[in-house]
Structure 1
Amino acid sequence: MARRLPSQPPNLPGFSYVRVLGSGGFADVFLYEQNLPRRQVAVKVMLAEVVTSQVKQMFQAEANLMAQLSTHPSILTVYQASVSADGRPYLVMELCSAAIGQRYRTHPLAVPEALSVGVRIASAVETAHRAGVLHRDIKPSNILTTAYGHPVLSDFGIAATLGEAEVTEAIGLSIPWSAPEVLLDETSGTIASEVWALGATLYSLLAGRSPFELPGKENTSSELIQRITKGRPQPLDRPDVPARLEQVLLRAMSKKPAARQRSVLEFIRELQSVETELGLPQTPIEVAMDDWALATADDPEDRTRIKGVMSVDPSGSRRRRRRPSTSQTVTRAPTSTVARESAGSTPGSSAPVRPRWSRALTLSIAACAVLVVALAITAAFVLVKVSSNTEIPAVRDLSGRVSDGTIVFTWSDPGLQPTDTYQVAVGDQPPSVQHATEFRVDAKPGATVCVTVTVNRDGKTGDPSAPKCVERADAP
């Protein structure tokens, strides 16, 4: 099939056209030089023949989404968006390389690089999910590389919010990396389908082909759809790919969404566990904390403070004057000789007049003080109780048995939160990460296997369980 020629680059004020970078189904990408500030940028321009009201909405949504998310280190940065003089919408983006999406077919990524790329791109997807956004087109060609070698996720062109995904038609999906339920029109996108796409993308970077693509055979769209919805991916024919990594990817590409990792964050942690097993440094998770922006928002504590009126005294220093309450009346003694004499002044002096507080008001203030102290003690008790509930739980009832030649360790859920995981360590080996409360070990007759289980919460581990050792007796 002949490829179409790129469209005519538009005349953009403040930019000088350099050359064509690439073409897609809905847009062309050109290299421009921005005049101020001086830099090279990639400009994505919609094709005139496809500019409809729906496509314009998609393009505007992409601009807004990428602008909101592009502060993430693994999401392509968008500088600006507008409409050219000839009516074509365009995006001005950071100039990146498409090397990963181009070279993986001839030079598949090494395992350490693939794991690092997987963690970083998955971190971008997890960040989008926390913002309520599905990407819906995760694939190798949408992974670019910055000038500093950092992978970034691009092309949110068919992204949808999590709430809209169930009713929004998927437009322009990429079949080789789309989940079975998406291809069968059961959904246009979910978190589970994004996990599938991440697994398929990482598989592709390691295999040099998409998961259901068969070398030397028909790989038409209909053939691929048939294999994705009916079959299983071909094994990764690479001796340097550990079995644990292949298991993680196969789980991500399970036919049933419920069998996959429950979130992208869980997928990331399983990739990190593979890095640990290989003796590699863990690629950090790039997910913003929920409270990172509190410093720029209204301080919740500030809402409990008494707001005063700032005034300036004759010396020029600022002091806070308390705003009188409209619900309280302060009784002052009249400005009289008695008041002034009680303050130690003589009639006609300019000494300040001190208020004479009624006994009832004094008792009220004392009672309020006692109440404040009592509330403070109660609040401290509540805080202690809340903080105790956020402690990382520990497994206390680890048990083991031999079943059909396999040693099976089980335990009860000590109270995990949805994002918590178990780290199961066998002897001195690096721990395995999982959510299940069962762990199986194949052991030779006569061997003794010792296991400890620790709960991991947000990268921090709690107290490990007491070691449990089980011996597989020799066969009779």
Structure 2
Amino acid sequence: MLGSGGFADVFLYEQNLPRRQVAVKVMLAEVVTSQVKQMFQAEANLMAQLSTHPSILTVYQASVSADGRPYLVMELCSAAIGQRYRMEPLAVPEVLSIGVRIASAVETAHRAGVLHRDIKPSNILTTAYGHPVLSDFGIAATLGEADVTEAIGLSIPWSAPEVLLDETSGTIASEVWALGATLYSMLAGRSPFELPGRENTSSELIQRITKGRPQPIGREDVPARLEQVLLRAMSKKPSNRQRSVLEFIRELQAVETELGLAQTPIEVAMDDWAIATADDPEDRTRIKGVVSIDPSGARRRRRQSVSQTLTRAPTSTVVRESVGSQPSGPGPARRRWSRPLVLAVSVCAVLVAALVVTATLVLVKVSSNSEIPTVRDLSGRVSNSTIVFTWSDPGLQPDDTYQVAVGDQPPSIQHATEFRVDAKEGETVCVTVTVNRDGKTGAPSGQKCVERAGSS
């Protein structure tokens, strides 16, 4: 037995093929009803869809046992985080890293239209390689159904006031609240409204959450800015919280930068990742959202493929003009075109089309890059054991962000014009900064490399 909850037990098993240790979550026989079965099946489907994310627990299999109890076969992970913070609060850098990774998982679920609705420390597990993962989507609901879905198995200490007051069963804002409360708990060693030495019954906690404010964390090593981020996330009014989990992540990254820590990368899949991996690696000429201008000056957007433009459209047009039906009625004598001449005209048309498309590509590239500013004055300096990179604002709009890439690592997203990287003596760190606007990136800055010299 690895653990037990209100609806299921979790056991340690060894799978035969392929041979490995797994965790098997089996529904309790006394709670097996048609409604709970549907909930369990929904969890299996949700976990399967989302568990490709590096910070969401992986599900290997789902089925029904011989006695009629549904079960899930999952990646074996440790529940140490949910137990350790009670005995010894976690270090600030670890909490920030866990926060960014788990919040990335929640943001990914939101983009798939799913609310977790039970974010808390005990639902954050650790893989064998020390990576935090979010588990237990057992009471998850789609964003559209959240307001009409009954909340089952509510975790009071980490539930937002509006959820406890039964104003909603879950929203993006309530997920932001739960994330803030979870990180607060890891830093304070207790849930936000739990008072040591006082009554902490369910009714007492609900009263404090809906009417009071969290007590200060009470740690000198917790920066004031981090506490402000968490208090904002736990604002009573949902409108006063971060507008999205992504905004919450960026504020955590800003705290990492303030502390001189390397930013934990945001782990959110790009919208077109599947298309990109499915395409022929040699085919890198697909145009998306080409802007074309007609003679009247009106602009319109269309989607097309370069290969279609070069092969299908020109060829079909030439064939219609050369070997199509002859015009009726009086006129000059009909002229027959030989096959070689048809082919020659086809080739010419293809070449002309290629030139037109090439010109269009150049036009699109120049116009799109000119709209997004480029960082041109990236500089770096060594400060103790940290390399500090700075640059001037090239003219960002309010929703623009910087993508800072360190070597081959995934880029970090931020609003600040400063980026810090810890470096060992003799280590050289290279950074590139690119502006991101509406999911599109402009031209990258020149790469800046700085070496932290060794002591003489």
Of 379, 384, 391, the match for 2:366: 384
* Aligned residue type for 2:225: R
- State the secondary structure of the residue aligned to 2:323: coil
Residues 27-426 of structure 1: pairs in structure 2 closer than 5 A = 27-297=8-278, 304-305=306-307, 327=320, 330=323, 355=339, 357=341, 373-374=355-356, 376-391=358-373, 415-417=397-399, 423=415
**Cα separation, partners in 2 of 1:239 and 1:287, compared to 1, 3 Å:** same
Q: Distance in 1 between matches of 2:320 and 2:401?
A: 48
What secondary structure does 1:305 align onto? helix
1:90-147 Cα distance to aligned partner (Å, 9 max, x none): 0000111111101211111111211111111111111112222111100000011111
Shift of the 39–214 alpha-carbon distance from structure 1 to 2, 3 Å rule, reads same
| Stretches of structure 2 lacking an aligned partner (at least 5 in a row) | 281-285, 288-303, 325-336, 377-392, 403-412, 421-433, 446-456
**Which letter does structure 2 place at the counterpart of 1:115?**
L
Contact kept? 2:257, 2:419, Cα under 8 Å:
no
Aligned to 1:158, what secondary structure does the other structure show?
coil
**Matching residue's letter, 1:355:** R
Q: How well do the aligned residues superpose, as a CA RMSD in angstroms?
A: 3.8
Residue 305 of structure 1: how far off its partner (Å): 2.9
Deviation at 1:214? 0.8
Contact 2:115 2:140 in 1 (8 A): yes
Q: Percent identity?
A: 76
Q: Distance in 2 between matches of 1:73 and 1:103?
A: 22
3-state SS in 1 of match to 2:87 = coil
Query: What code does the residue aligned with 1:68 have?
Result: Q
Contact 1:266–1:419 at 8 Å: present in 2 too?
no
- 1:459-470 equivalence runs, <5 A: none
Matched-pair contact (CA < 8 Å) for 2:26–2:71: yes
Q: Does 1:24 align with 2:38?
A: no
1:365 deviation in Å? 8.1
C-alpha offsets along residues 70-98 of structure 1, whole Å, 9 cap, x if unaligned?
Answer: 11111111000001111110000011111
SS across alignment from 1:104: helix
Question: What is the rounded CA distance, in whole Å, between the counterparts of 2:21 and 2:396 in structure 1?
Answer: 55
Q: CA deviation at 1:69?
A: 1.2
Q: Once the two structures are superposed, what CA deviation does each residue of 1:376-418 show, in whole Å capped at 9, x if it has no partner?
A: 5345324422332344699xxxxxxxxxxxxxxxx9x953337
Q: CA deviation at 1:324?
A: 11
1:327 and 1:102 mapped to 2: Cα distance? 74
Letter in 1 for 2:201: T
- Give CA-to-partner distance per residue, 1:135-176, whole Å, 9 cap, x none: 110000001111111111100111112222222222212111
Contact map agreement 2:318 2:346 (CA 8 A) in 1: no
2:100/2:264 contact within 8 Å kept:
yes
Give me the whole-angstrom Cα distance separating, in 1, the residues matched to 2:165 and 2:140: 19
- In 1, distance between residues paired with 2:144 and 2:175? 15
Higher relative contact order (CA 8 A, sep 6+): 2
- Cα distance change, pair 368–289 in 1 and its aligned pair in 2 (3 A): closer
Q: 1:224 to 1:304 in 2, by over 3 A?
A: same
CA deviation digits over 1:19-58, x for unaligned, max 9? Answer: x111101111111111111111110011122122221111
SS in 2 for 1:198: helix
Q: 1:220 and 1:356, CA in 2 relative to 1: closer, same or farther beyond 3 A?
A: closer
Contact 2:369 2:443 in 1 (8 A): no
1:456 and 1:278 mapped to 2: Cα distance?
24
Larger radius of gyration: 1
Q: SS in structure 2 opposite 1:293?
A: helix
Kindly tell me: are residues 58 and 237 of structure 1, through their superposed partners in 2, closer, same or farther at Cα, counting changes over 3 Å?
same
TM-score by length of 1: 0.68
- Contact conserved, 2:12 with 2:24, CA < 8 A, in 1? yes
1:455 Cα deviation from its structure 2 partner: 7.7
- Pick closer, same or farther for the CA change 1:200–1:418 going to 2, 3 Å: farther
For the 8 Å contact 1:307–1:323, the answer to whether it is kept is no
Read off the aligned partner of 1:249 and give its amino acid letter: L
Decide whether aligned partners of structure 1 residues 429 and 160 sit closer, same or farther in structure 2, where only a CA change above 3 A counts.
closer
How far is 1:357 from its partner?
3.6
C-alpha spacing 1:424/1:82, structure 2 compared with 1 (3 Å): closer
Secondary structure of the residue aligned to 1:105 is helix
Aligned pairs, number:
369
Structure 1 residue 252, shift from structure 2 partner: 0.9
Cα-to-partner distance string for 1:319-357 (whole Å, 9 max, x where unaligned): xxx9999856638xxxxxxxxxxxxxxxxxxxxx96364
1:204 touches 1:211 (CA, 8 Å); kept in 2?
yes
Mapped to 2, the partners of 1:153 and 1:50 lie a distance apart of: 24
1:424 Cα offset (Å): 5.3
1:258 offset after TM fit, Å? 1.7
| Structure 1 unaligned spans of 5+ | 1-19, 310-321, 332-352, 395-410, 431-453, 465-476
- Structure 2 length-normalised TM: 0.71
